[in-house]
Amino acid sequence: MTLCELLVAAHGRNSPGDEAVIEMHTGGRYEGTYIFERRTPNFLVTAQAWQDLPVGLNPDETQLRQWLDAIFVHGADVLSVGMVVYMESGMSEVGIHHISDICVVPAGVPVRRWLLQEELGRLMYNARGQIAVLQNAVASFGRKELII
């Protein structure tokens, strides 16, 4: 079950307007775009709204009510966030991390206020590992004269 479906079921009201609000605040507004992106000379770091709940997350009724309150009372986004690092050349994916909890993103609040630095660190650790594998794979290129 997706985060949106879970919150619609917990909301209990079958108002199409309420369902649309929940859909928008659980990632619908980010369809086809990133929650945020940061560029370096060689990499693009992105955060994306994912529909799936983080692995092992089983919210109870109290948690669901808090998320619904964040949406309907405070206008916050309640998101399952996946972060991805791409190499600028070719846009190949070199790191991926699904944040282990749901992110409540208050309206107008910058990323640095709601994204835990530890989560970004986990993403970078994954990316560094993949980059090291790529470096080892191409390490012999250009080191020896090509014999034909």
pLDDT in tens, the chain (148 residues): 899 999 999 998 767 899 999 999 999 999 989 999 999 999 999 999 999 999 999 999 999 999 999 999 999 999 999 999 999 887 789 999 999 999 999 999 999 899 989 999 999 999 999 888 888 887 777 655 555 5
Phi/psi at 5 (nearest 5 deg)?
-60, -40
Confidence at residue 144, expressed as pLDDT on a 0 to 100 scale: 59
Contact of 94 with 131, CB cutoff 8 Å: yes
Q: CA torsion 67→45→54→50, rounded to 10°?
A: 70
Amino acid at 83: M
Confidence at residue 136, expressed as pLDDT on a 0 to 100 scale: 84
Contact of 39 with 33, CB cutoff 8 Å: no
DSSP state of 89: T
Interacting residues of 92 by C-beta distance below 8 A, sequence separation 6+? 86
pTM of the model: 0.84
